[in-house]
Structure 1
Amino acid sequence: MLNAGVIGYGYWGPNLVRNFMECEKSLVLKVSDLDPARLALCKSRYPSIQTTGDYREILNDPAIDAVVIATPVGTHYPLALEALQAGKHVWVEKPFTSTVEQGETLLNEAEKRGLKIIVDHTFIYTGAVKKIKSLVDEGAFGNIYYYDSVRINLGLFQQDVDVLWDLAVHDFSILHYLFGKKPTGISAIGKSHVAGKPENTAFVSLMYDDNFIAHINANWLSPVKVRQILIGGDKKMAVFNDLEQAEKLKIYDSGLVLDNQEDIRETMIGYRTGDMLAPKIPTTEALKDEVEHFIHCIDTGEEPITSGAMGLEMVRLLCLASESIKQQGAPLEVK
């Protein structure tokens, strides 16, 4: 049985507490938050959980094996470092840290102490993304040309991160998981339309060492909410609409048909439009699978799919994208 302590019971904390409590192999012993009203809400839902305004009570409790951090990004590093130093495994919300150096320090600390870090890139554990991954691995898409994501809505404005760090980070993690390759370059443009607030609209392009290209549209100022990913290959194409209730993923037998490819001047372009398939997607909650995966990795010593090392790579990309915005979209090399 994994005994967990949760720091932060705001927006995402209740979902984490619920899933750790519902898992047969874990239990939440304590929850910490600075807001007494949030603690009262937690206590009303889970009378057995001890609540506190001091997170150190969680770190100092020898009965707690893992600390779950669901707090603003700027607090991830100090809280995670203290948790590791207290001998606790760490679950931390995305993005992992605010800087690359912070992430490297946490990885070194975890390795030195033989502890696990998992970064909550929840989309990786969704049924639709796992299904796309299986199709990519079996070559169903053929040569993959592009990944195009639209992740837009009206709000929710974050106080300590811009729209890239809030929304585009999802696509960085999905790209990494699906295709397993590192971009060679990144370019981003973004603007803030509210004085004193971070960028609320951004467009990111990622270049790779082949013909593959990725583009991300992230926006807090859209009149509609859209969560859609398009993937195009020379055999199949896919549309993942996360807001669809019944058919989140659709696979299309569509594409180009090229004749006379030996002579580029004589190449004829045709179009193939075949059937559409909406595969059955498991309805298990992603957080449930992620909690079970976290416990499994602690028990077996395996590295989590969304490990601290993976989370650090996402922070590297975010930092480069932010720097590109400062340089008016200048393409930057990904090392």
Structure 2
Amino acid sequence: MNVAVVGAGYWGPNLARNFRASADWELAAICDLDLERAQQVADRVGGVPVTASLDEILADDAIDAIAIATPARTHHPIVMAALAAGKHVTVEKPLADTVEHGTEMVRSAQERGLVLMADHTYCYTPAVLKIRELVAAGELGDILFIDSVRINLGLIQPDVDVFWDLAPHDLSIIDFILPGGISADGVSAQGADPLGTGKSCIGYLTMPLRGGAIAHVHVNWLSPTKIRQMVIGGTKRTLVWDDLNPQQRVSVYDRGVDLAEQSRATASDARAATISYRLGDTWAPALPEVEALSNMTSEFAAAIREKRQSRTDGASGLRVLSVLESASASLATGGATHPVLGTNGTDRS
């Protein structure tokens, strides 16, 4: 199939390289308003046509799909035009700039029988694919908590705060590994702007999940150290994902509080009971070394050929978007818990 990459800035070159290397795709064109930048990307992948005209891309019947790597505020008009032209679409995170726009995009794709895929890239890393597999197999038991940290001395984005810049990665992973995706009633968010930029540069997001678990996400542009880590605690085992440790990205700990022993205590015993701890082995599953975007391009092609939703479809993008929008509302009200609509699959109409 033929694909065009729209946007040749930060993420577009990575998409172009992986589509060019894929056995499923022919990279047909690169589209960017800055033709010089588009040409530089094209030259790096061995030469493909470049254009500054999105209309030209959409009018080309030979192009089956487009991959969008432009600012979130532009996703809605580009996606809607692409779907109207009969193109399948993958779009980088977040899916859109508002839930309203995202919902319209998802509905349009469904009505036209086209694939709309959120490029939640981390979900296609071997580590996160393994985590999803372990959770689905019940290796961790029932999930009790998810604690995620994504901090670094990073670029202060001009158009979004740290929540909209970094948290989509963590939220998309949480949505991907939990059976049925994120299901939350409310979100509370606290942010700080010590640089006076007018937006949060440090953020903490807390999200109680249905079933009694809780998720917490810490994002920060100002940390001198870089951390990409998620701890997932279950009734059986606890898993730690450390994305910056290539030798052992995933570790599974068979230790923690023994909930089975605790539940046997009577109400009167519980007050005096000593907490029972489980001290078992730690193991690390072997992971293949495969670039996440390579897996993403393969999944995009498979979803189109098999006429099915992708693993990170528009609905998953909407669930992440709903949490982000609720986090913004919470920030605006001083951190008060704000309801999350639509993360349990309910109709947002």
Does TM, normalized by the shorter one, top 0.5?
yes
8 Å contact kept, 1:73–1:160: no
| Partner of residue 255, structure 2 | 254
Q: Where does residue 96 of structure 2 map in the other structure?
A: 97
One-letter code aligned to 2:41? C
Query: How big is the shift at 1:47?
Result: 4.3
Quick check: 1:186 aligned with 2:190? no
Deviates more, 1:318-327 or 1:178-187: 178-187
1:331 match: 337
- Secondary structure of the 1:5 match is strand
Structure 1, residues 264-292: CA drift from partner, whole Å, max 9, x if none? 22332032222211110121111111111
Equivalence for 1:307: 313
Paired residues of 1:84 and 1:109 also in contact (CA < 8 A): yes
Contact 2:330–2:337 (8 Å) recurs in 1: yes
Unpaired runs of 5+ residues, structure 2, are 342-349
Q: Kindly tell me: are residues 138 and 47 of structure 1, through their superposed partners in 2, closer, same or farther at Cα, counting changes over 3 Å?
A: closer
Q: What residue number does 1:134 align with?
A: 133
Structure 1 match to 2:70: 71
1:296 maps to which of 293, 297, 302: 302
Please report how far the alpha carbon of residue 309 of structure 1 lies from its aligned counterpart in structure 2 after TM superposition: 1.6
Matched, 1:149 2:123: no
Check whether the contact 2:30–2:42 (CA below 8 A) recurs between aligned residues.
Answer: no
Q: Which amino acid aligns with 1:41?
A: Q
Take 1:72 and 1:119, find their aligned partners in 2: how far apart are those partners? 14
Paired position in structure 1 for 2:215:
214
SS at match of 2:275: strand
> How far apart, CA to CA, are the structure 1 residues paired with 2:43 and 2:167?
35
Structure 1: 5+ residue stretches without partners:
none
CA distance in 2 between counterparts of 1:187 and 1:29 reads 44
RMSD between aligned residues: 1.5
Under a length normalisation based on structure 1, what TM-score does the superposition of the two structures give? 0.95
Match in the other structure for 1:41: 40
The whole-number CA distance in structure 1 between the counterparts of 2:38 and 2:134 is 43
SS in structure 2 at match of 1:172: helix
Q: Is the 8 A contact 1:73 1:161 kept in 2?
A: no
User: Stretches of 4+ moved more than 6 A in 1?
Assistant: none
Output the CA distance in 2 between the equivalents of 1:152 and 1:252: 24
Give the whole-Å Cα distance in 2 for the aligned partners of 1:30 and 1:193: 43
Q: Which residue does 2:49 correspond to in 1?
A: 50
Q: In the TM superposition, what whole-angstrom CA distance separates every residue of 1:2-45 from its partner, at most 9, and x where no partner exists?
A: 10111111111111111111111201111012223322312322
* 1:245 aligned counterpart, secondary structure: coil
Structure-1 separation of matches of 2:159 and 2:80: 20
Q: Are residues 1:321 and 2:327 paired?
A: yes
Q: Could you tell me how far 1:56 is from its partner in structure 2? A: 2.1
Establish whether residue 111 from structure 1 lines up as the match of residue 113 from structure 2: no
Shift of 1:73: 0.8
**Deviation, structure 1 residue 156:** 1.9
The aligned residue for residue 285 of structure 1 is 291
Equivalent-residue separation in structure 1 for 2:230 and 2:42 (angstroms): 39
Number of residue pairs the alignment of both structures matches: 334
Answer whether contact 1:233 1:255 (CA < 8 A) is retained: no
Q: Cα distance, 1:196 vs. partner? A: 4.1
